[in-house]
Each structure stands twice: as structure tokens, then as C-alpha cells.
Amino acid sequence: MKLIPTLLLTLAALTLHAEEEAPAPVRPEPKPPLMLPDPVPLAPLDPLDELPGQDELDRLIDPKDPHMAALEEIILEKAGMSATWPDVEYAEVRGYLYFPGQGDLLGEGAEDSIIKGLKLHPATTNPEGAKLSAEQATRLLDAIRPAKWPRQGTGCYLPHHGFVFYDQAGKIVAHVSPCLLCKNGRAEPGNKNLSTWDFAALSKLVTELGLPVFKDIDEAEAYYEKEVKVKAKPAGK
């Protein structure tokens, strides 16, 4: 009977010895975490590249979404006219009268601005221009800046008056083409399309320069037929 306990002790000792000599289990090296490449940054949105209209803004922007509301504010700020426009040095400003015709809808009628192809519009009747005094130039800027970009306008754009800014060398550096009939306007630099200017102040300024202000398109066309077209006709014809 003493043999069994002895055998059990011997087996236990051998088992313990085997466990001590057995190599530790090899554990797999932990895999490094999956590293995703940094996202490619998107080009910043320039609202002036393609300015959305009211319907598109209403469709794209949820007023309850703060991010979308912030985007709308960026669009409105960038499309508006800052308090420092035109942000270029100029030496003088001159006012002009011109008759570009019916033209296109606002936003598509760049050819109806007073400047066409870096030159005065060919339909300008007073190419020498009426020079603004320093005080008048200040009132012109006060009438158009700062100005917010409206979410809606009349869509009409039939300008007959323009203001051009020149530098010391006589180079055109900025221009404004208000439509006093439709209460819309365009300005460069910045590709501004605005209907929030002080058009009453602009009308007063135009009158001071000795240029006519028309109450409607019929009056403008009658003036053109009588004062411009007839005088431009060669004698004897």
C-alpha cells in the first residue's frame, strides 16, 4: 500500500519538472492599428464662382443646420460689397451715359456694364465723361457700400449710367453700372450684382453731373432717338 503514494509523489514531481522545462507559449505580436490616409482637403468654396439664387439657397440650405446657416452667411458676405471696395488706388472717377439696349437678365449681362472689353461701352454718348469732385466720389461710394447681397431681386437690368474709376496713368481700375430703372447694379472688381444700393442718392448724383435720369424705358428710348441717334446721323442723310 505504501507503493501507491510513492508513485503518486513521483508522478507529481515529474509533472512539475516537465512544466518547469516546457517553453513558454509563443504569443503572436499585436498587429499595429490600421492607419487611414489623411483625407484630401477639399478646395474652399468660393461663392463668387457660381452665385446661387434664392431658390437654390432655399433648396440647399437648411436654416436649422448651423453649418448650412454659416455657409449662407459666407455666401452673402462674399457676394456683398465691403466698406472698403474697390480696394484699389484710383485718381479720379467719371460718370457716363450709354445705351446698351435691352440686354440680358441680371447676372448674365456683363456686356451691359459701362466697361466692355476693358474699354468704354461702344454705346457711350459722352466718352469724355463727367468728372466727379472728391466730394461727389465720396457720396458715390457711400451710396453703394457697404452693401449686402440680396437673396432676391427684380431680375431686370437695363442700365444707362456708369461710373468708372481711373488710376494716375488713366487705366481703368474699377467701374459701377447702376440700373436706375430696375434698381439693380453691377460693379467690378468682385463681380458684384446688387440691388441694395442707395439708388435715390445715385439718381441725384447723375443729375448733378448733367446726365438725364429716365422714369421708364420708353423715356430712355425716346431720348436716344431724339438726342443721340439723330445727332449721330451724318449731315445730308
d(CA 172, CA 112) in angstroms, rounded, equals 17
The ranges assigned to domains in the chain are: 51-80, 92-232
Least confident of 57-61, 116-120, 202-206: 57-61
Helix axes 134-144, 199-208, angle to 10 degrees: 160
Q: What grid cell was written down for 169?
A: 496713368
d(CA 84, CA 75) in angstroms, rounded, equals 18
Answer yes or no: is pLDDT of 162 > 50.
yes
Residues 25-34: tens digit of each pLDDT: 666 666 665 5
pLDDT class of 51 with cuts at 50, 70, 90: low
In this prediction, what percent of the chain has a pLDDT beyond 70? 57
Task: Say how many C-beta atoms besides its own lie within 10 A of residue 46's C-beta.
Answer: 11
The confidence score (pLDDT) of residue 45 equals 38
Phi–psi pair at 66, nearest 5 degrees: -60, -30
The confidence score (pLDDT) of residue 129 equals 97
Strand, helix or coil for residue 97: strand
What one-letter code names the amino acid at 109? G
- With residue 150 as reference, give the H or E element that holds it: none
Contact criterion met (CB below 8 Å) for 186 and 144 = no
Query: Is residue 37 reached through a cis peptide bond, with omega within 30 degrees of 0 on the bond before it?
Result: no
86 closest CA partner among 140, 151, 157, 150: 140
Residues 167-214: tens digit of each pLDDT: 999 999 999 999 999 999 999 999 888 888 999 999 999 999 999 999
d(CA 121, CA 169) in angstroms, rounded, equals 20
Residues 120-156: tens digit of each pLDDT: 999 999 999 999 999 999 999 999 999 887 655 566 8
Strand, helix or coil for residue 57: helix
> How buried is 23 (Cβ within 10 angstroms: 0-12 exposed, 13-18 middle, 19+ buried)?
exposed
Task: Say how many C-beta atoms besides its own lie within 10 A of residue 171's C-beta.
Answer: 11
Report if pTM > 0.95. Answer: no
d(CA 201, CA 141) in angstroms, rounded, equals 10
d(CA 71, CA 43) in angstroms, rounded, equals 14
